[in-house]
A and B are shown apart, each in its own frame.
Chain A
Amino acid sequence: MNNQDSPITEDELHAYIDGELPADRQEAVAAWLIAQPDAAAQIAAWRAQSEAIRARYNAVAAEPVPERLKLDKLIRNGRSWAGMAAAAVVAALLIGGGAGWVARGASAAAPDGYELLTNDALTAHKLYIGEVRHPIEVGATEAHLLPWLSRRVGTSLRAPELTTFGLKLLGGRLLPGVNGPAALFMYESGTGERFTLFCTKLAAERTALRYNEADNFAAVQWVESGYGYVVSGPQDKVRLKSVAKSAYEQMENRPPAANRTSLDQPKLDQPRFN
């Protein structure tokens, strides 16, 4: 009975409760424990831990599998896997910002980059449209508004012309965004309604225009060439969408000299006020 006599190591105690010991050694430990109340108590505590973990989490495996995790659904969406992976990367990059975002109570779900973008834009929108005297940092009449914001955000920006919607550009400001500096342009209607356009670098797949509502505000966002844009305003879906569509078209129809890809250096010498 050599096995019976050799000393029991702590590793073996773990292996014992996890069923990892050879049968003869298993018996040897069991026999040894009878005369070792301290070790037996330790083992009882470890077993209780395992039981508590199983009691807490085993029920999860018995829950019905949520729709989004059904395999046939994931297979059917196969063509969008690349997109989902890209979104997952963005979520991984931005999830730190998401911790604060969740803490603000907007949602318990893990946010993706698109949600964070909208959230940042709406937060800025709500904060600054309420400002009576200082809604902006630099006025629309100041020539350095666009060169300055373009340089800081890293792309050639333009402030879309929205007078057809009765909106006049007040000016803009620089803000911290989840991925770096962000620009906020503010517009005002004759009746004092304010709209904002938020723009920041965003490493995400390009998207079509998406509409979101939150509190008393709404936002339309899109991603193009490595930048995310959000137009925020009052909850008026039809109007906001047409404003956003116009902003989108003007942004995308910047002359080629504006070098829209994120890799290119912004051209700072020719701000386009249009």
Chain B
Amino acid sequence: MAGFQQSVEATIPALRRYARALTRDRDIADDLVQDTLVRALRSEHLFLGGDVRSWLYTILTNLNRNRLRSLARRPILMSIEDNDAPDMAGPEAGHRDIERALAGLVEDQRAALLLVVLEGLSYREVAEVQGVPIGTVMSRLARARVQIKAYLDGERPALRRVK
């Protein structure tokens, strides 16, 4: 089924983009994409038509959720400078700000937001990927946007510098 493989192949760059934004780590992101592709190829026979792209996003989203669950059972180490390094100006700083703002979101909100604004999926498609009603997708989006705005406006949660 060459059409299937072509569709999968054409989606790889977008999957890498989504995974990178989801994890903010190049290696973990590409590992997720690789696992996603392996699973997709192995279960091609289970794919009964429909949108290959949504199906791949679904696999990747689930794999990342599993990954975070197994992480949550152990302490998560974060670099110290992450919370209070002085901000620089310029596009680099903007990139870092949005990365940190995304990092502060709950996983399901982050995935919903990225699927809509970065990957261009419709609310209905995101609802299918996340396995929830459209209303839930919309409330995830709304909460994500409120929290990102609060973060960028300077209401950074926790760990304020105490002098």
A: residues with CB less than 8 A from B are 10-11, 14-15, 18, 20, 42, 45-46, 49-50, 52-58, 60-63, 65-66, 68-69, 71, 74-75, 78, 81, 84-85, 88, 91-93, 95-97, 99-100, 103, 108-110
Give the dominant DSSP class at A's interface. Answer: helix
* Nearest B residue (CB) for A57: B21
Instruction: Count CB-based A-B contacts (< 8 Å).
Output: 132
User: Which residues on the B side are within 8 Å of A68 (C-beta)?
Assistant: 30, 34
* Nearest A residue (CB) for B123: A20
A99 touches B77 (CB 8 A): yes
A14 touches B145 (CB 8 A): yes
User: Which residues on the B side are within 8 Å of A55 (C-beta)?
Assistant: 91, 94-95
* Shortest CB distance B74–A (Å): 3
Q: Apart from A54-B117, A74-B37, A109-B27, what are 7 other A-B pairs with CB-CB below 8 Å?
A: A14-B145, A53-B117, A58-B118, A61-B16, A65-B13, A71-B12, A91-B31
* Shortest CB distance A63–B (Å): 7
Question: Could you name 20 residue pairs across A and B whose Cβ atoms are closer than 8 Å?
Answer: A14-B138, A14-B142, A45-B152, A49-B101, A52-B97, A52-B98, A58-B17, A60-B20, A60-B21, A61-B13, A69-B34, A71-B8, A71-B37, A95-B67, A96-B75, A99-B74, A99-B75, A100-B77, A108-B27, A110-B27
The answer, among B70, B122, B152, for a CB contact under 8 Å with A49, is B152
The answer, among B41, B101, B123, for a CB contact under 8 Å with A18, is B123
* Shortest CB distance B91–A (Å): 8
Assess A74 versus B5: contact at CB under 8 Å? Given A53-B117, A56-B99, A96-B74.
no
B98 touches A49 (CB 8 A): yes
A74 touches B38 (CB 8 A): yes
B138 touches A96 (CB 8 A): no
B: residues with CB less than 8 A from A are 5, 8-9, 12-14, 16-17, 20-21, 25-28, 30-31, 33-35, 37-39, 41-42, 66-67, 70-71, 73-77, 79, 91, 94-95, 97-99, 101-102, 113-114, 116-118, 122-123, 138, 141-142, 145, 148-149, 152
* Shortest CB distance B90–A (Å): 13
B16 touches A60 (CB 8 A): yes
The answer, among B9, B31, B71, B122, for a CB contact under 8 Å with A96, is B71
CA A68 to CA B34, docked complex, whole Å: 8
User: Which residues on the B side are within 8 Å of A96 (C-beta)?
Assistant: 70-71, 73-76
CA A11 to CA B27, docked complex, whole Å: 36
User: Which residues on the A side are within 8 Å of B27 (C-beta)?
Assistant: 108-110
User: Which residues on the A side are within 8 Å of B33 (C-beta)?
Assistant: 69
Assess A53 versus B12: contact at CB under 8 Å? Given A69-B33, A97-B74.
no
* Shortest CB distance B136–A (Å): 12
